[in-house]
Amino acid sequence: MSARVLDSLPADDRLHAVVRVGLHAHGWAGRQGAPGGTPWDADAYGLSGVDGYVQAQPATQSAVLQRCAADQLEEALHIENIGMAYAARMLLGSDTIEERQLYATIAADEALHHAALTPFVPRLEAAGTPAPFLSLLERLVVEGDRATRLLVVQVVLEGWGMDHYRGLARRCADPTLAAVLTRIVDDEARHHGSGVILAPRLPAGDAAVDVLTSFLDMVRVGPQAVLAALIGCVGPMSRPERIAALSQLRTEDHAGAQLLLIRRLLEKAGATAIVAALHSRGRFRPLTAEEAA
Ligand SMILES: [Fe+2]
Ligand SMILES: [Fe+2]
């Protein structure tokens, strides 16, 4: 089983029409919006205080913002894709009618989110190795136990997603995309809320600590994708320049806020033993710019 985004039928396949009718029935407004442009400004990525960005030519600055937006939207699309597979796995393991109903509706929501975001995604990576964060998620959905999946995806990821999408919606210059993101926030709040109800009924164990350790390590390094987008457009940077850029991106504050949010989400779901285990592994400490460069 794979949740790869490019496992798609050719555009002229007859199945597309049937899927479209189904999505419309669930409230999909149809294909709206266009890729490209810069839906978010430099402030949204913390780039306005970064020398390497401020000193670049306007065309280069615009390329950096386009790349950051593309990365963000592409990652969101992958997550929605994995979300459909997650809901399907959870649906199959349900013990009650209500759980089946819950996961069937979550699957429909994620299918709709995927369709609504697709027109805005400027490029799709050719099928290859997905980013480590997405590989971790995919592996969890396919191989993880139910309690770990529930805690990591539905409590942590959907809770983090609410916050993330809300910020993106608020700062988005494209009203059509902002409306899509706002709709997603409302749905993710429901998905996350149900996770908070169900997680204490199925407490997660050591496997969740291991998955979350890997996940938090990816958060602790701060806005590496923004740095990579900057380097990709302005050219290579020396280690001191990377340290300066990460420090100007306020990597420690940025990662610290995300780590605190994740910790609160876990506590909200009653996962105090897991929080304690992660804390004793030092996983709620953000890396400094020197460590992250
Ligand atoms: Fe979603
Ligand atoms: Fe969701």
Ordered by start, the domain boundaries in the chain are 48-292
CATH number for the domain formed by residue range(s) 48-292: 1.10.620.20
What's the CA-to-centroid distance between 285 and ligand 1, angstroms? 28
Is the distance from CB of 100 to CB of 89 less than 8 angstroms?
A: no
Whole-angstrom Cα distance, residue 270 to residue 106?
A: 22
What's the CA-to-centroid distance between 196 and ligand 2, angstroms? 13
What would the two tokens of residue 160 be? Answer: 């983090």
Ion ligand 1: residue ranges with CB closer than 5 A:
80, 83, 110, 113
Is the distance from CB of 286 to CB of 255 less than 8 angstroms?
A: yes
What's the CA-to-centroid distance between 110 and ligand 1, angstroms? 4
What's the CA-to-centroid distance between 106 and ligand 2, angstroms? 6
> What residue has token string 């995919």?
138
**For the CA of 184, the nearest ligand:** 1
Whole-angstrom Cα distance, residue 195 to residue 203?
A: 12
Buried b / exposed e along 235-271 (16+ C-beta atoms within 10 A) = eebeeeebbbbbbbbbbbebbbebbebbbebbeebbb
What's the CA-to-centroid distance between 70 and ligand 2, angstroms? 20
Is the distance from CB of 286 to CB of 224 less than 8 angstroms?
A: no
What's the CA-to-centroid distance between 216 and ligand 2, angstroms? 20
Q: What is the pLDDT along the chain (293 residues), one digit of tens a residue?
A: 444 445 688 889 999 999 999 998 888 888 888 887 899 999 999 999 999 999 999 999 999 999 999 999 999 999 999 999 999 999 999 999 999 999 999 999 999 999 999 999 976 655 556 788 999 999 999 999 999 999 999 999 999 999 999 999 999 999 999 999 999 999 999 999 999 999 999 999 999 999 999 999 999 999 999 999 999 999 999 999 999 999 999 999 999 999 999 999 999 999 999 999 999 999 999 999 999 99
> What residue has token string 């992660």?
278
